[in-house]
Amino acid sequence: MSSKIYQIKISIKDSYPLIWRRLYIHSDILLTDFHKMLQTVVGWSNAYSHQFIKDDVYYVLPSDNFGNDGATIDYREKKVSDLLDDEENKIFYEYDFRDRWLHEIELENILDVDPHNTYPFCQDGELHCPPEGCGGVEGYDDLLSILSDIDNEEYYETIKWLGEDFDAHEFDKCFVNEMLRRKNFGCKVY
């Protein structure tokens, strides 16, 4: 089968309002490269362990296997099309096992390659990526609550940690696409 283009929607589960991205990728890319793209598109720094999950099977790097309850598979030779092969298929991507950022990845559409496009590219998305180390979705909700109240005793400390230019509503698609064109899809590799 020749490579197709997958229109993928990535959403951080349980985030409200929903933090999401729409990405176009070749169907036959390796999960190792897809991981790098996800890091860049969502806005993570690749500092923590991760895994893909489908039907209670955990697709991991051998160094990231932390005793999952289900079967584990080394994903280094697996392609995205091995896990997603029909429209509306879903898998999950978990990042940072302490904060437990769970991403739902849905295959929205299967398309032919458009010779006028460069892949991968991010078509759209909403909201800024939460900062790493903030305590997962609940911690991020608490952080946003602090930022909404200048009288909160933690407000200035939180601004200092995040930086004064942090905007929870910002998503810079042009920057993300510029990063995706770089080596390792803009992902830091440790």
Q: Kindly report, residue by residue over 163-174, the tens digit of the pLDDT.
A: 989 999 999 999
Q: Which pLDDT belongs to residue 68?
A: 63
Rounded mean pLDDT, 62-89: 87
Task: State which residues form the domain around 115.
Answer: 5-127+171-186
Residues 149 and 68 in one domain: no
Dist. CA 82–CA 31, nearest whole Å: 9
pLDDT, one tens digit per residue, over 103-130 is 999 999 999 999 999 999 999 999 999 9
Residues 123 and 148 in one domain: no
Q: Which two tokens stand for residue 27?
A: 């169907």
Residues 69 and 12 in one domain: yes
Residues of the chain above pLDDT 90, percent: 91
CATH code of the domain covering residue 113: 3.10.290.30
Residues 136 and 66 in one domain: no
Residues 88 and 139 in one domain: no
Dist. CA 104–CA 88, nearest whole Å: 11
pLDDT, one tens digit per residue, over 171-184 is 999 999 999 999 99
Residues of the chain above pLDDT 70, percent: 95
The DSSP call for residue 3 is -
Confidence grade of residue 12 (pLDDT, cut at 50, 70, 90): very high
Residues 69 and 162 in one domain: no
Q: What's the structural domain count of the chain?
A: 2
Q: Which pLDDT belongs to residue 156?
A: 95
Model pTM? 0.93
Residues 35 and 80 in one domain: yes
Residues 32 and 60 in one domain: yes
pLDDT, one tens digit per residue, over 17-58 is 999 999 999 999 999 999 999 999 999 999 999 999 999 999
Q: Which amino acid is at 114?
A: D
Nearest to 87 by CA among 8, 1, 166: 8
Residues 62 and 97 in one domain: yes
Residues 178 and 123 in one domain: yes
Residues 59 and 92 in one domain: yes
